[in-house]
Amino acid sequence: MKPDLFEAPDYYNLDELLTEEHLLVRDAAREWVKRDVSPIIEEYAQRAEFPTQIVNGLANIGAFGPYIPEEYGGAGLDYISYGLIMQEIERGDSGVRSTASVQSSLVMFPIWKYGNEEQKMKYLPKLASGEWMGCFGLTEPDHGSNPSGMVTNFKDKGDHYLLNGAKMWISNSPIAQVAIVWAKNEEGRIHGLIIEKGMDGFSAPETHNKWSLRASSTGELIFDNVKVPKENILPNRSGLGAPLSCLDSARYGIAWGAIGAAMDCYDTALRYSKERVQFGKPIGGFQLQQKKLSEMITEITKAQLLAWRLGDLKNKGKATTAQISMAKRNNVEMAIKIAREARQILGGMGISGEYSIMRHMMNLESVITYEGTHDIHLLITGLDITGLNAFK
C-alpha cells in the first residue's frame, strides 16, 4: 500500500469550532491511525483478518468508551471528542471503527446505563483497556430491521436463566469475551443479558466470505440451553427501547465515522488528480474531474457541519433519535457516493489495494446497512415529520 500522505480537508475552517481538548484528542487518533493502522490494514483486509495487535492502541487513544466516566475506566470525554475519534479511525478503516463502536456504544454503554454497580465495576474497566472485547447481539436470522420479533428467549429456572436462540451478523463475536444479548423472557419482554465466553452451550462461529469489512471479525452467537447466572441480567431497563437507545449512540458515532472514510477517498483522489498526467496535463485540470472533486468537498463540508451540530446537541442532551438517523443516513450515503467517484478518478488504479478507496467503498456497503438500513432511517425521519408510522 502507498504511504499514508493524508491531509484532512477543512474547507469551512471547522477546526475553529473545536476546543483545545477536541483538537488534542483528534490529532492523537489521527497520528495513531497513520502510524499503526494505515501501514497494515490493507494486508489484513485482503486476508480477511482482524488485526488484534491494534487493540491496545485503540484503548490508548480513548476509543473504548470515550464518554464513559473515568471512574469506570472510560476517557470521560464529550460527544464531539467521541465523534472525532470515530472519524479518524474510520479514515483508516470502517471495520476498525466498527470494533470501537461496538465496544463503546453497544457493550460499555448498556452496562453503564442499565447495569448495576457490581456489573459496571466488573466489566467496564476491562472493556475500556481492551483486556476484554465485547459484542452486541440484537439481529437474528429472521429478524434484522424488525428486532421486536426476536425469538431468542430465556426461562426462569429458579437459581439461573436458561437461554436459547441465535444471533447473526454480530461484529466482534468471534473475538469477544463478553456478549450483550437481547432476549425475551417468558412474558415476551426484551431484556439484556451479559453472556461470557466459556458458558456451556454458547458458541460464536465466525462468518466467512464477506466482501466488506474484511478487517473486522463478524460471527454468530448460538445459545443452546445456556445456563445464565441471575446476576447477569441488566436490571435497570427492559423493552425494545433498551437496545434501541444503544443504537442511538452507535449511529451517532457512525455519522462522524463515515466522514473519515469520505475524507480519505477525497484526499487520495485530489492528490492523484494533480499527479496523473493524460493528454499532456494533470487530469485534475479537466473540468469533469474538477466537478467530481468540487462536489465531494461540498458534500464533506455539509456532512461535517451536520455532525458538529449533532454533537453539540448531544452534549446538551438534546439530540433526538430522528436527528441521529438523519445524520447517519446522510453521511454514510455521502461517503459511499464519494468513494465511487474517487475510484473513477483513479481509473484502473482505483481498484488496486495500493490505494484505500476500493476498501472504503466495499466497507461502506455494510455501514449503509447495519445500525439500521438506509431505508429504515428514511422511515424514521418520515415518522418524525408526519407523525404517521410506516412500520405498523
Q: Which amino acid appears at position 279 of this protein?
A: F
State yes or no: residue 355 binds ligand FAD (CB under 6 A). Answer: no
Residues 168-207 that bind ligand TGC (CB under 6 A): 171
How many residues touch ligand TGC under the rule CB under 6 A: the total is: 25
* CA 290/CA 287 separation, integer angstroms: 5
State yes or no: residue 213 binds ligand FAD (CB under 6 A). Answer: yes
Binding site partner of 369, from ligand FAD, ligand TGC, none, Cβ cut-off 5-8 A by kind: ligand FAD
For ligand TGC, give the closer residue by CB, 148 or 236. Answer: 148
Q: Which of 38, 81, 87, 101 binds ligand TGC (CB under 6 A)?
A: 101
CB 29 within 8 A of CB 88: yes
For ligand FAD, give the closer residue by CB, 304 or 366. Answer: 366
> For residue 309, what is the DSSP state?
H
For ligand FAD, give the closer residue by CB, 172 or 273. Answer: 172
Draw the binding track, 121-160, toward ligand TGC (x: CB under 6 A; -: no contact): ---------------x-xx-----x-xx------------
CB 87 within 8 A of CB 260: yes
Residue, CB closest to ligand FAD: 144
Give the orientation angle of helix 79-92 with respect to helix 94-101, to 10 degrees. Answer: 140
State yes or no: residue 362 binds ligand TGC (CB under 6 A). Answer: no
> For residue 188, what is the DSSP state?
S
Find, among 101, 107, 250, the residue nearest to 192 by Cα: 107
Minimum CB distance to ligand FAD, residue 294 (Å): 31
For ligand FAD, give the closer residue by CB, 243 or 284. Answer: 243
Q: Is 371 a catalytic residue?
A: yes
Residues that bind ligand TGC (CB under 6 A): 98, 101-102, 136, 138-139, 145, 147-148, 171, 239-241, 244-245, 247-248, 250, 321, 370-372, 376, 380, 391
Residues that bind ligand FAD (CB under 6 A): 102, 135-139, 144-145, 169-171, 213, 218, 366, 369-371, 373, 375-376, 379, 391
Instruction: Tell me the catalytic residues.
Output: 371
